[in-house]
Structure 1
């Protein structure tokens, strides 16, 4: 009996390691949505509530010149483009590192029937513009607050994702609204509320499905 207990104790660390969810690995698949600030390309990490994906991150990226031109042209036509890099350590983005990784670019959402358009493109993450960790999913958190940031002469609003049910929302605006709190409104209503203030607004991305309870 003592021998059996000793064997179980020796095996316990490996059993615990085997039970550790793969989703807690920082190195893995980290999808993003592409958008533009004039002739500059930006990406926003597509977050989830579970770690380590629970970070909102906006970066400026650069692509090979001919590819960058084609991507900017597609975005000017209001096409939804998403980016799926090869596996990498998300801490490189969290720590504001500059690095290059190959990625595929999809027309549409790569997890929602999107079509692969470009493959194995070298993407350089050159500058972090925004970073925020999502709140604990089990704690109450407001879901109507937006953060503003500007880049290359254009202004954007990024929803600060709260507790479930939350949403990921990116808007391009012509001016900064006097109020960045819309807690009594749905994300579908918010562009109209901003337009009522005489501000031009373009919805670049909205995701609700990934943030349900």
Structure 2
């Protein structure tokens, strides 16, 4: 009887572990916004505060030869395009791996009434250009800083999402601003501050709803 009890007790942690839900399941739905650097296509992962979605990630991607020019043409018309891949493991992006996945492309935001335009397109994720993990919501972090990166001769600013209320913001600029810190400014004010420096700036993406308290 004692031996049986010991076996049951030894097996209890394994049973509990099997019944515990995966708190940080990286495999699932990971939406992205599409934008262009000349003739190169880029995607930015649409992050959330909760793990495992709490990563800002920018990748260079390629689409089939007959599809990529169509997408680039839409982006040149300043259309917002979002990408919804089939479920995949986000750690592939976090670890800067090259991989392939099928995806749908939407006019506008796929979660904000966007219309599906292309279905089941093969997407090759070829190179990671940027990675940043969002701060924990219980650790105060400001929302005034931007990171800069360039690709194929074009320069971009990506907002460092802070604690709520934050925002996801991607800008294309003709030159680097004097500094990348904009304390106590809204996204709209930041556009004006950059333009005052004689810099051409185009807002590629802005999301506030997902980053409210």
TM-score normalised by the chain length of structure 2: 0.93
Give the match for residue 163 of structure 1. Answer: 163
Matched, 1:174 2:170: no
CA deviations 1:118-139 (Å, max 9, x no partner) are 0000000011000011111111
Matches within 5 A, 1:195-210: 195-210=195-210
After TM superposition, give the deviation of residue 59 of structure 1 in Å.
Answer: 0.3
Give the match for residue 151 of structure 2. Answer: 151
**Structure 1: how far apart are the matches of 2:15 and 2:144?**
44
Change (3 A) 1:20 1:36: same
Matched, 1:38 2:38: yes
Matches within 5 A, 1:92-103: 92-103=92-103
- Aligned with 2:202: secondary structure? strand
Give the match for residue 57 of structure 1. Answer: 57
Detail structure 1 runs of 4+ shifted over 6 Å in the superposition.
Answer: 6-9
Matched, 1:20 2:21: yes
After TM superposition, give the deviation of residue 46 of structure 1 in Å.
Answer: 0.4
CA deviations 1:90-138 (Å, max 9, x no partner) are 1110111111110000001111111110000000001100001111111
Q: How many residues align?
A: 211
Which structure 2 residue ranges, 5 or more long, are not aligned?
A: none
- Aligned with 1:92: secondary structure? helix
Give the match for residue 142 of structure 2. Answer: 142
- Tell me which moved more, 35-44 or 9-18: 9-18
Which structure 1 residue ranges, 5 or more long, are not aligned?
A: none
Matches within 5 A, 1:72-111: 72-111=72-111
- Aligned with 1:188: secondary structure? helix
- Aligned with 2:61: secondary structure? strand
Aligned residues: CA RMSD: 1.8
- Aligned with 1:127: secondary structure? strand
- Aligned with 1:194: secondary structure? helix
**Structure 2: how far apart are the matches of 1:17 and 1:146?**
42
Matched, 1:121 2:133: no
After TM superposition, give the deviation of residue 15 of structure 1 in Å.
Answer: 4.7
Give the match for residue 191 of structure 1. Answer: 191
**Structure 2: how far apart are the matches of 1:19 and 1:140?**
30
CA deviations 1:187-211 (Å, max 9, x no partner) are 1211111001100000000001111
